[in-house]
Structure 1
Amino acid sequence: MSQRALLLVNSQSRQGQKRLPEVISCLVQQGFEIIAASTKKPEDFSEVIRRYQHQVDLVIIGGGDGSLNAAVDTLIETNLPLGILPLGTANDLARTLGIPNSLPEASKVIAQGELRHIDLGWVNGKHFFNVASLGLSVKITQRLTKEVKRRWGVFAYAFTALQVIFESRPFSAEIRLNNKSIRVKTVQIAVGNGRYYGGGMAVAPDATIDDQRLDLYSLEIKHWWEIILLLPAMRQGRHIHQSNVRALHGQEIEVYTRKPRPINTDGEITTYTPAHFRVIPQALAVFVPIKSTTVKKDGNPGISGDYF
């Protein structure tokens, strides 16, 4: 008996609408019965999922990290498993899970892969997959328009980041975790649940999306050019070993600032400080490649895209 899937594609994503026929064809070839719901923007995904929740076995989302983030709260609410087709610019969640960019191969993962429960991050009532951050990344998000993404693709993140870095100014914050309070002067605080964000940068070298912890780093630089020197190390998460980067981890973290500062979750601004972060272990079922179990440095199994 074929599974019935609700297909949601972000028509505003870089590849979304023009590849919709190919998407449907790939999924039908894998034996799915497809309900393709048309939406003008990802913000409508939640309403559509609720409408069809009792008529489908799973939800398949074609888009990038922003599209997935738009649906995550409703996926938790309805308890429907998720299939991912990477059609966005960065596709950081797909990269973390080892899901290939090829549509036929990604469709095969949904049909023949295994269902894994992954952790989710949570901040002020909003779930996130990859990273929630404040400071530099928010300014990048504000400047990273749809037009820039369409024109430059994944390189849009690098170009926009370089423009914003020159204008970066430190701000004061208080970080609380494990019954300790730490005051910092920083240009960015990032709290990671998954491994990758921002077009392939790693939160920490050993971060996985099922390790039941949050990884925080704070960029405590004095001069803008210090960020440039950190960029190569950020691709592998090795920046956390530098003297001007503070690295912490825990299951619950609080961040306070003098005035409310916007927080970016998976590339979208969704809340403001003061912020209460926590990890929600094994919160969502997602189809991943069968061989995506890896061994982390501490000897425990984890999910990571590094091995694909």
Structure 2
Amino acid sequence: MMIRMKRARLIYNPTSGKEEFQRKLPEILDYFERAGYETSCHATKKAGDATKAAESAVNHGFDLIIAAGGDGTLYEVVNGMAEKPHRPPLGIIPSGTTNDFARAIGLPLRNIKKSCEMIVRGEAMPIDIGKVNNKYFINIAGAGALTDLTYEVPSKLKTIMGQLAYYIKGIEKLPFIRPSHVRIETDEMVIDEEIMLFLIANSNSVGGLERLAPSASLYDGKFDCLILKKTSFPEFLRIATHVIKGDHIKDPDVIYFQTKKLKASASSNVYINLDGELGGELPIEFTALPKHLKVIMPKK
């Protein structure tokens, strides 16, 4: 009796990181074939490609979907899978600039070979994701001037300079940051005031900072929310230095709480960032979906 090989669909961004992934593609495909996966691949060419490719892979009954790229590629793949009644496990090869989610779950960074080995030998764990109207995010949602950075940095600059490109853009924008008047409603509280930004975290790694949401968990069915009130430039810099130790959540200008659902509205145009991608404009409702997606993790 012939044993059927499992089928894997590899969806990759050929321009992510420093384009190392594309150079190693033949040996990556060979590795998965030897591990028992009949593997085909799809190279993204424009925004939305990874979402369509992931949706097609689910519809065609693939046993494993692999997202290779940065947070943007992962975001699109998650959106292609999240609505489906049957969702195969998702493997991740982090080859982008920041790789926030991969960092949060302890995946090998900047090591494609080890990432492939982890997918084959790892364990599929059901994790929470967030829903925003008809879109989904796996790691972070945010609003405010600082969250614009991820889609303002040119892709070529990210390829050349990596995560440093975000910090350069951030320093450039700091003197021009202006607060927004936002109303945030949960079952537990209402916040109505001028803020610099708010973040809704599913994991503890945001923008390469691993203590920005220190209590966040992928398994508790809740968001960890952080709001920075209206502050002066010197106050902002003071709070930023506390982020390194995770002490910022005790600052009187920071509001930090957990919730399963929240509504956010604004008196002016405020745009939402979902896993580094433009995700719409307030008003918006955010909902946590507990254990909605199986992601392959390193075995404990």
1:50 partnered with 2:89? no
Within 2, Cα distance between the matches of 1:181 and 1:216?
Answer: 13
Counting only pairs closer than 5 Å after superposition, residues 27-46 of structure 1 correspond to structure 2 as 27-46=32-51
Within 2, Cα distance between the matches of 1:236 and 1:113?
Answer: 31
Aligned letter for 2:81? L
Counting only pairs closer than 5 Å after superposition, residues 105-120 of structure 1 correspond to structure 2 as 105-120=114-129
Within 2, Cα distance between the matches of 1:129 and 1:145?
Answer: 23
C-alpha distance 172-50 of structure 1, shift in aligned 2 (>3 A): closer
Picking from 78, 96, 101, the partner of 1:72 is 78
Indicate conservation of the 8 Å contact 1:13/1:87, yes or no: yes
Q: How many residues align?
A: 291
Indicate conservation of the 8 Å contact 1:205/1:238, yes or no: no
1:266 partnered with 2:275? yes
Picking from 84, 96, 109, the partner of 1:88 is 96
* Gaps in structure 2 of 5+ consecutive residues: none
Offset from partner CA, 1:139-179 (integer Å, 9 cap, x none): 31242110221121122222221112111111111111125
Structure 1 stretch 197-206 or stretch 246-255: which is displaced more?
197-206
1:5 partnered with 2:14? no
Secondary structure class of the residue paired with 1:187: strand
Task: Tell me what 2:28 maps to.
Answer: 23
Structure 1 stretch 277-286 or stretch 207-216: which is displaced more?
207-216
Counting only pairs closer than 5 Å after superposition, residues 215-230 of structure 1 correspond to structure 2 as 215-230=224-239
Secondary structure class of the residue paired with 2:98: coil
Aligned letter for 1:83? G
Within 1, Cα distance between the matches of 2:54 and 2:150?
Answer: 26
| Cα shift at 1:29 | 4.3
| Cα shift at 1:55 | 4.4
C-alpha distance 49-144 of structure 1, shift in aligned 2 (>3 A): same
C-alpha distance 261-193 of structure 1, shift in aligned 2 (>3 A): same
Task: Tell me what 2:264 maps to.
Answer: 255
Task: Give the structure-1-normalised TM-score.
Answer: 0.88
Counting only pairs closer than 5 Å after superposition, residues 148-297 of structure 1 correspond to structure 2 as 148-291=157-300
Within 2, Cα distance between the matches of 1:221 and 1:22?
Answer: 51
| Cα shift at 1:201 | 4.3
Secondary structure class of the residue paired with 1:207: coil
| Cα shift at 1:134 | 0.6
Secondary structure class of the residue paired with 1:186: strand
Counting only pairs closer than 5 Å after superposition, residues 113-132 of structure 1 correspond to structure 2 as 113-132=122-141
Within 2, Cα distance between the matches of 1:167 and 1:250?
Answer: 31
Secondary structure class of the residue paired with 1:156: helix
Indicate conservation of the 8 Å contact 2:57/2:65, yes or no: no
Structure 1 stretch 6-15 or stretch 179-188: which is displaced more?
179-188
Aligned letter for 2:99? N
Aligned letter for 1:13? S
C-alpha distance 206-151 of structure 1, shift in aligned 2 (>3 A): same
Within 2, Cα distance between the matches of 1:83 and 1:188?
Answer: 31
Within 2, Cα distance between the matches of 1:39 and 1:25?
Answer: 20
Secondary structure class of the residue paired with 1:140: helix
Secondary structure class of the residue paired with 2:241: helix
Secondary structure class of the residue paired with 2:83: helix
Indicate conservation of the 8 Å contact 1:30/1:108, yes or no: no
C-alpha distance 137-124 of structure 1, shift in aligned 2 (>3 A): farther
| Cα shift at 1:223 | 1.0
Within 1, Cα distance between the matches of 2:230 and 2:32?
Answer: 48
Secondary structure class of the residue paired with 2:176: coil
Aligned alpha-carbon RMSD (Å): 1.8
Within 1, Cα distance between the matches of 2:140 and 2:183?
Answer: 19
Aligned letter for 2:125? R
1:99 partnered with 2:107? yes
* Gaps in structure 1 of 5+ consecutive residues: 292-308
Within 1, Cα distance between the matches of 2:151 and 2:280?
Answer: 14
| Cα shift at 1:277 | 0.9
| Cα shift at 1:235 | 3.9
Within 1, Cα distance between the matches of 2:277 and 2:137?
Answer: 10
Indicate conservation of the 8 Å contact 1:121/1:192, yes or no: no
| Cα shift at 1:265 | 0.4
Secondary structure class of the residue paired with 1:67: helix
